[in-house]
Amino acid sequence: MPSQLERFIELIQPVTTFDGLSAAVTQVRDQLDVEHVVYHSVNSTGEQYAALTYPAQWVDRYIAQDYARIDPVVLGCFRRFHPVDWKRLDWTQRAARAFLGEALDAGVGNQGFSVPIRGPNGQFALFTVSDRRSDREWEKFQKEHVADFLILSHYLNQKALELERGNDFQTMNSLSPREADALTMLAMGLNRSQAAESLSISEHTFRVYVESARLKLGAANTTHAVARAIALGFVMI
């Protein structure tokens, strides 16, 4: 049986249009059994693109009111590099609380998890999953899926860049077998210590392989390197 991450990638890999990407995001939502999945990108010139499952009425309201100015998710993620649980953001301002009330009424969900993505030439994107689960259920859901979300978010962003530019991949040398092995271990959800042990090498040597692979792939970070390696076929999971 293919893993859930493999199923997500199978949905996104053949996409050739932005409409197709929107449809794939909807299918990802359905497979996760959550309220909404959102991918939103802003490039260096301010042009925006979104593939999302929010109700059209809420999207129109959000844009008309320019809620990105006060949205704690956007503001919080723009200052961070790591995934963000919405409950850990600052919702104390009156405008933020009013915004949250509208979002809940629109069916966005009381729980959310967002991954900030920084792409080439100043691009900034967000990958978000939201739902109405209880705090306990949401914590369990995040723990089960966080590794997949990190890779999926960068994979989705890479596909969007490819659609925007025709092809965003740079010519690069192939990964060595050990570099590919290292990224494969990470793609499977192992941490650095577990991955190094599985490959019978030291954690220091493992980090050297990962960093070498990251540089070859032109990736901004390790998660981005894993996503690009999967997209290019260097890593099979």
| Same domain membership, residue 224 and residue 157 | no
Identify the domain boundary among 165, 186, 212: 165
Question: Which of 136, 165, 194 represents a domain boundary (last residue)?
Answer: 165
Enter the tokens of residue 122.
């100043």
Q: What is the mean pLDDT of residues 194-216?
A: 91
Helix (H, G, I), strand (E, B) or coil at 79: coil
**172 assigned to some structural domain:** no
- 146 and 126 in a common domain: yes
CA angle 160, 131, 141 (to 5 degrees): 90
58 and 102 share one domain? yes
- CATH classification at residue 86: 3.30.450.80
Residues 143 and 199 in one domain: no
32 has pLDDT over 70: yes
Mean pLDDT of 143-171: 81
Give residue for tokens 């220091």. Answer: 204
17 plus 134 within the same structural domain: yes
- 170 is a domain residue: no
What string of DSSP letters covers 40-71?
EEE-TTS-EEEEE-S-HHHHHHHHHTTGGGT-
pLDDT grade for 75, boundaries at 50, 70 and 90: very high
Question: Does residue 206 fall inside a structural domain?
Answer: yes
181 and 132, same domain (yes or no):
no
The pLDDT of residue 85: 95
Q: How many domains does the chain have?
A: 2
For residues 124 and 185, state if they share a domain: no
Is the model's pTM score more than 0.75?
A: yes
Q: Which of 165, 197, 217 is a domain's end point? A: 165
DSSP conformation letters of 95-134 = HHHHHHHHHHHTT--SEEEEEEEE-GGG-EEEEEEEE---
Neighbours of 64 (CB within 10 A): 8
User: Cβ neighbours of residue 38 under 8 Å, at least 6 residues apart?
Assistant: 25, 50, 51, 52, 53, 54, 126, 127, 128, 129, 130
Decide if pLDDT at 168 tops 50: no
- CB-CB neighbours of 90 under 10 Å: 9
Q: Percentage of residues in the chain with pLDDT exceeding 90?
A: 60
> What is the average per-residue pLDDT within 176-188?
89
Residue 224's domain is classified under what CATH number?
1.10.10.10
> Which structural domain, as residue segments, surrounds residue 191?
177-231
In whole angstroms, what is the distance from residue 105 CA to residue 58 CA? 9
Q: So what's the pLDDT on residue 43? A: 78
Q: Is residue 225 part of a domain?
A: yes
pLDDT at 104 over 90: yes
Whether residue 131 sits in one domain with residue 40: yes
In a domain? residue 237: no
